[in-house]
């Protein structure tokens, strides 16, 4: 099991206190692109065009982590 898979499992178990870099690691492993250039939000973009803007401040609120998990799982 690689780091991204472990992070994904841990996010499912506990959606509290995650950093943007950890979400980006999981996204990279699952083929999800993101853009975050001088803005207050990081926008994750799935191959089918579905997007999810996540505020870049730390810690990321649990609702954004749950929505990110839905994006990764293809919901």
Residues of the domain holding 31 = 3-73
Give pLDDT < 50 ranges for the chain: none
Q: How many domains does the chain have?
A: 1
Name the CA dihedral angle for 47, 16, 8, 31, rounded to a multiple of 10 degrees.
Answer: 20
Q: What is the CATH number of the domain that holds 15?
A: 3.30.920
pLDDT of residue 2: 80
pLDDT of residue 38: 85
pTM for the predicted model, two decimal places: 0.90
pLDDT of residue 5: 85
pLDDT of residue 65: 96
pLDDT of residue 39: 86
pLDDT of residue 75: 53
- Burial-class residue 16 by CB neighbours within 10 Å (0-12, 13-18, 19+): exposed
């Amino acid at each position: 099991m690689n780091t991204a898979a472990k992070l994904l499992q841990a996010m499912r178990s506990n959606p509290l206190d995650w950093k943007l870099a950890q979400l980006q690691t999981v996204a990279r492993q699952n083929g999800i692109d993101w853009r975050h250039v001088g803005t207050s939000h990081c926008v994750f973009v799935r191959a089918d065009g579905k997007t999810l803007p996540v505020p870049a401040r730390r810690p990321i609120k649990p609702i954004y982590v749950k929505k990110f998990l839905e994006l990764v799982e293809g919901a």
